[in-house]
Structure 1
């Protein structure tokens, strides 16, 4: 019996750090930026699973961590529950390191360097992301855009890009513009700035602040980028503009050549009656907009997608015997769909490709 105990001690002394096959594996996690001494969540190693009494039958149990980054944790045993737990020894940053793979060693008596250590378990600790980085826009603080006022609707006039050093939902971004305006729309997921309404004849600049916000909690917002759009008017010849009424309007309001339709209707025609349709046009997909007179004062409307002219209020021949309408027709596909080599070929008489002008003359007679 004595010789058996001596032989066991000699084997222990020569063994040093011993590794066993098929070690039990345990997995836990900790949120980044958690204070030091925070417990690793989901990780609890039952002492029975590692069969500690097999290795240290005559002395107390002591545990030690090994592996790259083991100094960031400390291991201790919960005597009341008979479990081995891990706590952090410093604040962890996921962007620096997102996971740790460590070994749990068991020591008899002490865990001094000359003591025998038995590797009894493997542990993986994931460092989970917290929303601690605000999004960043890859753009200057302000952007100047000079835009032709005949640019086709739905054209992409600018595109913003942003990044976030977080991960998961914390890195999902949404672009927003302030203040809201009817001329431009910022696509939330892509950061594309689209022209959605006509800026024909607009003289003043349009300013909007664009920023990006993540989906984390609490959500973080980037610094705003100021986008300044300056409409550039497409000038026509001054000789084409005759009459005092037209002289006071924007030179771009009428284009030459124009297509004129003449239509006679009775003054007792009902509200909501259909007069005519400007469709089809030379565009496969067109948008129609009433330029003159303004929609608030006009007795008729033009359908934006259909081009149908309908009556919106009763007509009176004595008050308004003659009505002239100017309708702008714009290509929905946008000028970006036209190859650059053919753009010059689709502008006869200095007319930009996405625009035609119609001047239907509407007369109400008894």
Structure 2
């Protein structure tokens, strides 16, 4: 008695599984923005595959679509080929919906009665992307940066970021700067603005446009962002010059006895680069002299008439992480 009950429990699910037929599956695609009545590419359902005669032995066979979004397509029979095809009923937008999972029903007359419709197949339709969106920047249309003129070379001074509502290659971006300039470089893959050359002594600000361009076809380009970078010269102001409400800072040109200037310099800075200028001083006619360290051991030189501090040999942060200089400034008039 016990064995017969166990055997019945084991065999019944297996028998039920064998009687259940797996529905054939078909897959196709259509590009977004295709006009209404565009055929779904790659999707053709042979009538013999769905065993139509089993469900509808008489003539007058009709197909019907079911599922979320089925109203966006219509099914029709290609009588010459004996296939069932799909066409769109409206213009599709991939950003709104990228795929459809639908069921194909079959009936013998007009499918007016739901009870006589048999599900004979399932289909998936992918909505493929077209390059219909241009990149847009997250930031405003203008960016203004005030940059210390002693900023280390290869420093990232700003990062621009754009987005594209498309997908795949249509959403991959490259950043471009116009016009080219020798002081700043925009990294094409990241949009980072890199300082590549000294901005010491620049008489005016640097201005350029940055655009984002996608990799679609045809490529689309964003509206430009205007980037303005103004070099700023700052140094600690001596206590006797600090006025109320000025924050205790003054331009580096107002050097006085005992004033200290801190500089950040990249070890990759090339020999001959001017890293800062001490002139003009408070004297109308000044002479500059490097007092410490001695010129033979110093990696920099000081211009006697200009006050420019220039790199004279390669810098190595591991062996010489910082360097302290003492410069004497004299009035040529002897006052």
TM-score (norm 2): 0.69
CA distance in 1, matches of 2:146, 2:43: 59
Deviation at residue 286 of structure 1 after TM alignment: 3.6
- What is the deviation of 1:283? 8.2
Q: 1:348 Cα deviation (Å)?
A: 5.8
Contact 2:152 2:265 in 1 (8 A): no
**1:327 to partner: Cα distance:** 2.3
| Alignment match, 2:34 | 34
Q: CA deviation at 1:285?
A: 3.3
Distance 1:227 1:331 in 2: 31
Task: Kindly state the Cα deviation for residue 93 of structure 1 after the two structures are TM-superposed.
Answer: 0.5
Residues 40 and 86, structure 2, Cα contact 8 Å, conserved in 1: yes
How far the C-alpha of 1:99 sits from its partner, in A, is: 0.4
Contact (CA 8 Å) 2:150, 2:265: kept in 1 or not?
no
What RMSD over aligned residues (CA atoms) do the two structures have, in Å?
3.5
Match of 1:113 in 2: 113
Task: State how far apart, in whole Å, the 1-side matches of 2:185 and 2:66 are.
Answer: 56
- Is 1:153–1:331's contact at 8 Å kept on the other side of the alignment? no
Q: CA deviation at 1:70?
A: 0.2
Task: Give the equivalent residue in structure 2 for 1:163.
Answer: 163
Gaps of 5+ in 2: 1-19, 238-251, 275-298, 300-306, 328-335
Q: Report the alpha carbon displacement of residue 149 of structure 1 after superposing the two structures with TM.
A: 1.0
| Match for residue 328 of structure 1 among 311, 314, 320 | 311
- Measure, in 2, the Cα distance between the counterparts of 1:206 and 1:221: 23
Higher relative contact order (CA 8 A, sep 6+): 1
Determine the C-alpha separation between the residues in 2 that align with 1:348 and 1:197.
Answer: 23
SS at match of 2:119: strand
Deviations 1:295-333 (A, max 9, x none): xxxxxxxxxxxx9xxxxxxxxxxxxxxxx9962379799
CA distance in 2, matches of 1:182, 1:127: 45
Q: What's 2:147 paired with?
A: 147
> Which SS does the other structure have where 2:203 is aligned?
coil
Distance between the aligned counterparts of 2:23 and 2:106, measured in 1? Answer: 13
Q: 2:93 matched to which residue of 1?
A: 93
Distance across 2 between alignment mates of 1:107 and 1:84: 14
Q: What TM-score does the superposition give when structure 1 sets the normalisation length? A: 0.63
CA positional deviation for 1:290: 2.1
| Separation of aligned partners in 2, 1:54 and 1:291 | 87
The answer to whether the Cα contact below 8 Å between 1:154 and 1:332 also exists between their aligned partners in 2 is no
1:45 paired with 2:28, answer no
Equivalenced residues, count:
257
Structure 2: distance between partners of 1:142 and 1:40: 45
